[in-house]
Amino acid sequence: MEVKTLKKEESKTGTSIRVSGAEAVIHCLLAEGIDTVYGYPGGAIMPIYDELFKFKDELHHVLTRHEQGAAHAAQGYARVSGKVGVAMATSGPGATNLVTGIADAQIDSTPLVCITGQVARHLLGSDAFQETDIVGISTPVTKWNYQITHASEIPEVIAKAFYIARSGRPGPVLIDITKNAQFEEFDFKYQKCTAIRSYTAKPTISQLKIEEAAEAINNAKKPMIVWGQGIILGKAEAELKAFVEKTGIPAAWTILGASALPNTHPLNVGMVGMHGNYGPNILTNECDVLIALGMRFDDRVTGDLSTYAKQAKVLHFEIDPAEINKNVHADVPVLGDVKESLEAILPLLKENKHEAWHNEFKEKYKIEFDKVIKNDLQPEKEGLTMGEVIEQINIASKHEAVIVSDVGQHQMIACRYAKFNTSKSNITSGGLGTMGFALPAAIGAKMGAPKREVVAVIGDGGYQMTIQELGTIFQTGVPVKIVVLNNEFLGMVRQWQQLFFDKRYASTEMTNPDFIKIAEGYHIQAKKVTKREDLATAVEEMMASPDAYFLEVQVEKEDNVFPMIPTGASVSDVRLS
Amino acid sequence: MEENKTYTISVYSENNVGLLNRISGIFLKRHINIESLNVSKSEIDHVSKFTIVVHTTEDWARKIVGQIEKQIEVIKAYYHTNEETIFQESALFKIASNLLFDERQIQNIIKDNHSEIVTVSPEFFVISKSGRREEIEEMYEQLKPYGIMQFVRSGRISVSKSEMQISNILKEFQYQ
């Protein structure tokens, strides 16, 4: 890579010293403000691990029990802290094990820098031991990747990696470093990267589009906001709040947008999408102006595109030009950083209340409450529901916990019923739907926000995909709270089998081990709840524990998650049962 | 349904290892076949140009260009219809040398098609022809009865009738 493509800014650490490539990697990470890395050693990355040993007071390395766990932990760390997560692995299987986490970070726009060891340059392409083409493999799921074969490339490439990972629409970057480059010595000097000529991190905001959008909003009779993770990634929570409060527009959120505005805010009308709230789904097809803020119209949000918000004028505030008109036509595309766009539009907006329109959301909520929410949160049947467990966590945490959910029914229930006061509190695998995400992500989340309570909510299926990370919790003593909602089924797949495959429960019933014994094997305090009367105390006890804690709740085996928009159906056809 | 058309996608990029893989992956992910692909230097020093021909809808062409432009090392990408570009392909025909003397018609074919002889050896000679796909196909059909030892045709190369403002983008970067 040539210097001319980078714009340089002198860093405070920019004095030249003679070091090995491996040591240079550590200096780069420290210069980027990294304090924690997640990883797993192996042959091709041993020189870097040797340096990690020497720098253990400056840089905390967390040994996960599998490289996938390292990637997810780095994601959890990044998502709660807003910083770049770093994961490391050796070549071959170490690198390929990272791929699921990288793909998850790519689709959920999580800033990661993954560093993999690679066989020495002279062995490349020779099918050497633990050689794999990780640059080729990771290309479709990285924002950028690069193979370093000479130590002298390390500072520039790593500087570029961090800049790319965190700027614009964030994403994962993979840097593959051959073993010879880790051993080679060179004159090290670090300069942060601040621009790349072929890459525009933030498109320039068009004042004309801001004015067009403002006019549409001011003239709207039934406007509706759907915000996404862009608000959180763009640190635009305060601007969102000011925007909704001035305009009085009902605001709904996508799964990854959760927590950007407190759930208790009177203008927060709930979640959109497949298992979102009834009102915002139905009323998407009745609003006259749809204001999309930092979201990408995922198919789980829109359902059938040909019947999605066709009556509405769509205003799409978005940082990534490739998202404009990708799924939903934008009548007014407002390209740019959402925080800056909201700042620019706010003075142009008229104050409003939209009371009659709000009442429609309230009426729809009443319907949903009677048909769904009441049964989930105040059940009269004997079996425990997932919803009442989430509600107990809400109560015990006073809406201040970070909830890290896995994938499936419990995830939808957690996102529907968890109450958040603080942004960056809902950590879940949204786009990729990666089972096994939550346990390692919760480890990273707790380390990224040590003062906050972190509760992992996991199903019995997903838990067993990365259950070995209990070892990481035990070894590091990280005080995460783990709640497994056990229905002895792969619940979401079972729900689909019930609804769409005539109850043919193919390979969804689980014969589970004794989870309590497993937790205790890792010296983690553990408790199992099977009765309603024990639930509140158990959750309180878990939350009060200063250490890691495992709580298994035996829930109803065949409960379903509603509302539901069946795949390919319109948001208007959301089912309540 | 929008109709399929031939689109020429022009991509200006940094000259880095792996970018071809990244760009071709965008087509692979969407199950779109690349009709032809050419990579060369461009009018700007150290900037490469990809010329990719696809047969698809305009909607897809636009979305693909969006995804291509999103790649870090891509400076700018465009798509054009045939009418908006000047384009050509090149072909080489390897023919047995004796035919040049035995079959008088071959010399006429070479002349009529405005092609040229690149090299002549005792065993074979090589004809080069540049032009539109149909012109090359036509010449191929004319030569085929006499026996073609080898034939190869390049991917499309093209320039757009309208300006592609790469120099301005790069200049702006310098002054930032």
Tokens of B100: 């040049």
| Domain covering A207-361: architecture | 3-Layer(aba) Sandwich (3.40)
Asked whether this chain's domains A207-361 and A379-554 adopt the same fold, the reply is yes
Q: Which CATH architecture has domain A379-554?
A: 3-Layer(aba) Sandwich (3.40)
Inter-chain touch B25–A140, beta carbons under 8 Å: yes
In the CATH hierarchy, which fold is given to the domain comprising B5-85? Answer: Alpha-Beta Plaits (3.30.70)
Other beta carbons within 10 angstroms of residue A180's beta carbon come to 19
- Judge: B25–A144 Cβ closer than 8 Å, yes or no: no
Please indicate if any CB of chain A lies within 8 Å of the CB of B133: no
A54 is catalytic: no
Contacting residues for A163 by C-beta, under 8 A, at least 6 apart: A192, A193, A194, A195, A196
- Alpha-carbon span A402 to A425, nearest angstrom: 4
Model confidence pLDDT, tens digit, residues A158-198: 999 999 999 999 999 999 999 999 999 999 999 999 999 99
Residue pLDDT, tens place only, B71-108: 999 999 999 999 999 999 999 999 999 998 888 899 99
Residue B17 pLDDT class (50, 70, 90 cuts): confident
Residues in a beta bridge with A303: A570
Answer yes or no: is pLDDT of A477 > 60. Answer: yes
pLDDT of residue A2: 39
Decide if pLDDT at A15 tops 70.
no
- Which residue intervals of chain B bear CATH 3.30.70.260? 5-85
Mean pLDDT, chain A, integer: 96
Give the model's confidence band at B172: pLDDT under 50 very low, under 70 low, under 90 confident, else very high. confident
| 3-class secondary structure, A238 | helix
Helix (H) or strand (E) holding A481: strand A481-486
Task: Say whether A67 is catalytic.
Answer: yes
pLDDT digits (tens, 9 = 90+) for A313-327: 999 999 999 999 999
Note whether A139 contacts B18, CB cutoff 8 Å: yes
Q: Average pLDDT for residues B134-143, to the nearest whole number? A: 96
Nearest to B63 among A135, A143, A326 (CB): A326
Residue A289 DSSP symbol: E
Where along chain B do the CATH 3.30.70.1150 domains lie?
87-153
The topology (CATH level 3) of B87-153 is: Alpha-Beta Plaits (3.30.70)
In this predicted structure, what is the pLDDT of residue B163?
Answer: 87
Measured CA distances, A106 to A204, A332, A333, B7 (Å): 24, 26, 23, 29
Q: Is A286 a catalytic residue?
A: no
Three-state DSSP at A227 gives strand
Cα separation, A573 vs A470, whole angstroms: 42
Beta strand segments in A356-433, E: 402-405, 426-428
What would the mean pLDDT of B139-159 be, rounded to a whole number?
A: 96
Half-sphere exposure of A282 (CA within 13 A, CB side): 18
pLDDT band at A111; cut points 50, 70, 90: very high
Mean pLDDT for B113-136 is 95
Q: What is the pLDDT of residue B166?
A: 81
Q: Which helix (H) or strand (E) segment is A268 a member of?
A: strand A268-271
* CATH code given to domain A3-196: 3.40.50.970
Give the model's pLDDT for residue B2.
82
Cross-chain Cβ contact A322/B29 below 8 Å: no
| Residue A285 Cα, gap to closest chain B Cα (Å) | 24
- Pick from A84-88, A279-283, A527-531, B17-21: least confident: B17-21
* Digit-coded pLDDT (tens) for A46-70: 999 999 999 999 999 999 999 999 9
Average pLDDT value for residue range A546-568: 97
Minimal C-alpha gap between B71 and chain A (Å): 7
A10 in active site = no
* Residue with tokens 């505030």, as numbered in its chain: A317
**Which one of A129, A353, A400, A475 is the catalytic residue?**
A129
Which residues fall within 8 angstroms of residue B164, CB to CB, at 6 or more apart? B10, B12, B76, B78
Work out whether strand B124-131 and strand B116-120 pair parallel, antiparallel, or are unpaired.
antiparallel
Residues of B in contact with A143 (CB under 8 A): 72
Measure Cα distances from A340 to A48, A506, B111, B144 in Å.
40, 50, 64, 64
* HEC readout, chain B: CCCCEEEEEEEEEECCCCHHHHHHHHHHHCCCCEEEEEEEECCCCCEEEEEEEEEECHHHHHHHHHHHHHCCCEEEEEEEEHHHEEEEEEEEEEEEHHHHHHCHHHHHHHHHCCCEEEEECCCEEEEEEEECHHHHHHHHHHHHHHCCCEEEECCCEEEECCCCCHHHHHHHHHHC
Residue window 102-131, chain B: list those with CB within 8 Å of chain A.
none
Residue spans per domain, chain A:
3-196, 207-361, 379-554
pLDDT tens, A264-318? Answer: 999 999 999 999 999 999 999 999 999 999 999 999 999 999 999 999 999 999 9
Residue B174 pLDDT class (50, 70, 90 cuts): low
Angle in degrees, CA B137, B142, B145, rounded to 5: 120
pLDDT bin (cut points 50, 70, 90) of residue A6 is: very low
Partner-chain residue, chosen from A140, A195, A325, that has the shortest CB–CB distance to B29: A140
The reported pLDDT for the residue numbered B175 is 62
Q: For this structure, is A75 an active site residue? A: no
CB within 8 Å: B176 and A7: yes
pLDDT at B100: 85
Share of chain A above pLDDT 70, in %: 97
The predicted structure's pLDDT at residue B176: 57
Residue A382 has pLDDT above 90, yes or no: yes
pLDDT score at A47: 98
| ipTM, interface predicted TM-score of the complex | 0.91
Query: Quick one: average pLDDT of A520-537?
Result: 98
Look at residue A13 and tell me whether its pLDDT is greater than 90: no
Length of chain A: 577
